[in-house]
A and B are shown apart, each in its own frame.
Chain A
């Protein structure tokens, strides 16, 4: 490789990383409702059919519209991601595409199924027999699961690459099963799956918590809140256990990442657990609260357990101090939000099981209204922990980010990044406007005769009548 190519490559590194982080972080906001909302919708539809409850059916039908809009925007932002792999990281794809691609190929199959059956499900309301409609909808949750499996398998491969045979850096053989099911998949997949179901539940419940605070407390609101919040609250404690398993696994799988999450500088026993705080280049941690010995106990169940520190790794094989700080704060944010969610869930179940009714405290609904936002923050923080904590590696131990980056000039990538930021801002604006309008329309319709909820949605079914021009 000539030095000019290398220099040009290095200069595009910063904008490329920012662009990747920006587009991924945007895309992943659409994932929870895209993957997990179908299950909640089907649950609600099932309740509606079993109890012959028109209100439940109406809720399900409206949720299905939100799910379709989410999916459509997710499809565009997701397609962009796959092109970015080629535009920003061509050398990673050239070297490892045959391994990373396995998960994505499976994901492609799942996307096809989802795109088709979301279309069918949306058309099918009132046009297909109720039970047939429900049965056709049952394809959606497993398809979403398969898609999540594909993406997470690819990401886990980047964290704990396996199943490949390299000769002089060239990939000569792939063991498909071993490459799909790498070690990190065992915790990343379950952790993420629970995260998106929690997020879908809390986000949907937020909407009805706000409605409760505004005084709308009829059967419609209560049923929608009960179903979505119960699902989310039941998953929250499970998530804490699975998250704990992830953290423990990192100790052996990616020790430098683990050291970054705990800002541990020197390898030692009796290691404190630092909450908050920033580490500097000499290894001092400032502003944080240190709980003595706790980290050693968490890792090895004993104060004498030895925890590896960042300085155990060569400076060019571990996260920089800035990256370690980002990883650490993101990790703390995730754990903090998870703990807060668990407390809220405990409150909820306490009232539900003891008094056999929904909580009536205004403060409960105020906190529940924040649950959705909190979950999205936790998901973003989780990905930051995973991705920034892996630095400087793009494929852990095998390829550095700086060796994978494009040879395009930095000015080109900066320009593209600026364009994308503008376009994404527009998309976000349209997306939110559309959802708010739907909500406003549905509220109006509850007062008079309704039209079909999915009418007027850009990617919904065609209305039966050809509209008057200009209407």
Chain B
């Protein structure tokens, strides 16, 4: 795996973890129901996701740009084969952004309920279809410059659907886990218990879904399966398998230590397990990273941009998160 492919994988991982927390919060919003406790949970969710929303979105835009600049042929191939998946994810993404904003504008209760519903549903659609596209790539049905079967067969296969379902479980899991932290910050004990229970449930669903997906991979993409369980994907697969139940245990027992870092670790490793298991291939069996790579000049510029990103953005982002955590505690003067 070269550095640019690694950066691409890291951007996808960052989007899946940071963005995943956000989508997960949206899923719990959808499932909160209309009870009094549901209203409280919604208020917390709204509160928790506002400030970092855009930054999460930038990871996605950056991954896309890295993909077409660093591996143009790969970009062409995936979009030619999987445009239905990307279009659905995209529609979900804008609906989500628009209706999240609309919730703050709507006064009328009915309009508010519709906004809640669309926001929640699009929080399900978007991660599902993005993850499904990764599953479709892993299934080997994306051919060079076009699908190896029909576009529909390439887009919707057992692999793509199982990847999509895993992503829903994973985002629900990380969403609940982080909402426990937000509820604690505001001293809302009832909500802490509410989301702890949901984090445990989601972890169990994730473990079940993950196992189903693994079996699907075993049948549909045996090469990938082997390198996931015996090759470079193994360390990451192991981390996921150990850490996910561990986080569930922490929430079950109400031990509020390390659970957020471990949640990110569990979900992130899952993405890395796929990425490392598939390397050196971008399209399994057909196109390697080296074959798809852009000319050297372009690669050099991408590396410079990547280095600048690490040097400049990392401290800036740390500052943002620091201020966010601090300023929510003190009362601002008008």
Would A171 and B295 count as touching, CB distance under 8 A?
A: yes
Cross-chain contact A91 with B76 (CB below 8 angstroms): yes
Chain A residues within 8 Å of B50, by CB: 458-462
Query: B interface, by DSSP: helix, strand, loop or mixed?
Result: helix
The answer to the question of B243 belonging to the interface, with a C-beta cut-off of 8 Å to chain A, is no
Within 1-55 of B, Cβ neighbours of A (below 8 Å) are at 36, 39-40, 42-44, 47-48, 50-55
Q: How far is the CA of A136 from the CA of B90 in the complex (A)?
A: 33
Q: Which of A97, A116, A457 is in CB contact (< 8 Å) with B75?
A: A97
Closest A residue to B59 by beta carbon equals: A112
Interface status of B320 (Cβ within 8 A of chain A): yes
Q: Find B58's partner among A100, A115, A124 (CB 8 Å cutoff).
A: A115
Closest partner residue, chain B, to A5 (CB atom): B146
Which residues of B are found within 8 Å of A416, using beta-carbon distances? Answer: 87, 91
* B330 is an interface residue with CB less than 8 A from chain A: yes
Question: Quick check: A427 and B98 within 8 Å, CB to CB?
Answer: yes
- Tell me the minimal C-beta distance from B327 to chain A in angstroms: 5
Judge whether B305 is part of the interface by a CB distance below 8 angstroms.
yes
Residue-wise interface mask of B (55-99) relative to A, using a CB-CB cutoff of 8 A (1 in contact, 0 not): 101101110111011101101111110011011001101110110
Q: Is the CB of A464 within 8 A of B331?
A: yes
A90-B79, A124-B323 given; A105·B305 CB < 8 A: yes
Residues of A within 8 A of B40 (CB): 469
Q: Which of A77, A83, A427 gathers most chain B CB within 10 Å? A: A83
For B230, the chain A residues whose CB sits under 8 A away are none
B329 within 8 A of A: yes
Q: Chain B: which residue is nearest A471 at the CB level? A: B43
A86 on the B face (CB < 8 A): yes
Is the CB of A50 closer than 8 A to any CB of chain B? no
- Chain B interface size band reads 35 or more
Closest to A461 in B: B51
B297 pairs with A108, CB closer than 8 A = no
Q: Kindly identify which residue among A171, A434, A463 contacts B105, using a CB–CB cutoff of 8 Å.
A: A434
Which one, B57, B103, B298, B305, contacts A99 given CB within 8 A?
B298
Complex interface: stretch among B247-255, B267-275, B308-316? B308-316
On whether the beta carbons of B69 and A98 are closer than 8 Å, the reply is yes
CA separation between A74 and B308, bound complex, in Å? Answer: 24
Asked if A361 CB lies within 8 Å of chain B CBs, one says no
Range for the number of chain A residues in contact with chain B = 35 or more
Q: Would you give the shortest CB distance from B244 to chain A, in whole angstroms?
A: 29
Contact status of A173 and B295, CB under 8 A, knowing A105-B65, A406-B80, A427-B94: yes
Q: Does B256 contact A (CB under 8 A)?
A: no
Q: How far is the CA of A101 from the CA of B72 in the complex (A)?
A: 9
Q: Which of B48, B101, B305 contacts A458 (CB 8 A)?
A: B101
Bound complex: CA of A175 vs CA of B100, how far in Å? Answer: 43
Residue B294 CB within 8 A of the other chain:
yes
A-side interface mostly:
helix
Contact of B55 among A116, A427, A449 (CB under 8 A): A116
A51 at interface, CB cutoff 8 A? no
Output the least CB separation between A113 and chain B (Å).
7
Cβ of A109 under 8 Å from chain B:
yes
Would A467 and B43 count as touching, CB distance under 8 A? Answer: yes
Cβ of B212 within 8 Å of any chain A Cβ, yes or no, is no
Q: Which residue of B lies closest to A68 (CB)?
A: B54
B308 touches A109 (CB 8 A): yes
Q: Which residues from A are CB-within-8-Å of B294?
A: 97-98, 101, 174
Q: A112-B62, A119-B320 are in contact. Are A457 and B327 (CB under 8 A)?
A: no
What is the bound-complex CA distance between A100 and B70, given in angstroms? 11
A113–B300 touching, CB < 8 Å: no
CB contacts (< 8 Å) of B295 on chain A: these are 98, 171-174
**In whole angstroms, what is the CA distance A434 to B55 when docked?**
21
Evaluate whether A76 and B58 lie within 8 angstroms (CB atoms) in the complex, with A174-B294, A464-B329 already known: no
> Does B91 contact A90, Cβ atoms closer than 8 Å?
no
Contact of A75 among B39, B58, B76, B80 (CB under 8 A): B58
**A383: CB under 8 A from chain B?**
no
Question: Could you write out 30 A-B pairs with CB less than 8 Å apart?
Answer: A76-B98, A86-B78, A90-B80, A93-B68, A93-B76, A94-B72, A98-B69, A101-B70, A105-B65, A105-B301, A108-B66, A109-B309, A115-B57, A116-B313, A116-B317, A119-B51, A124-B323, A171-B295, A174-B294, A174-B297, A179-B297, A408-B83, A423-B91, A427-B94, A450-B334, A458-B103, A460-B50, A462-B324, A463-B47, A469-B42
B-binding residues in A (CB < 8 A):
71-73, 75-80, 82-83, 85-87, 90-91, 93-102, 104-109, 111-113, 115-120, 123-127, 171-176, 179, 406-408, 412, 416, 419-420, 423, 426-427, 430-431, 433-434, 437, 449-452, 456-471
Q: 5 closest Cβ contacts across the A-B interface?
A: A101-B69, A94-B76, A97-B72, A86-B79, A98-B294
**Besides A90-B76, A112-B313, A467-B47, 20 other CB < 8 A contacts?**
A79-B64, A82-B65, A90-B79, A100-B68, A101-B65, A101-B72, A105-B69, A105-B305, A108-B62, A113-B316, A174-B297, A176-B301, A430-B102, A430-B105, A434-B101, A458-B101, A459-B51, A459-B53, A464-B328, A469-B40
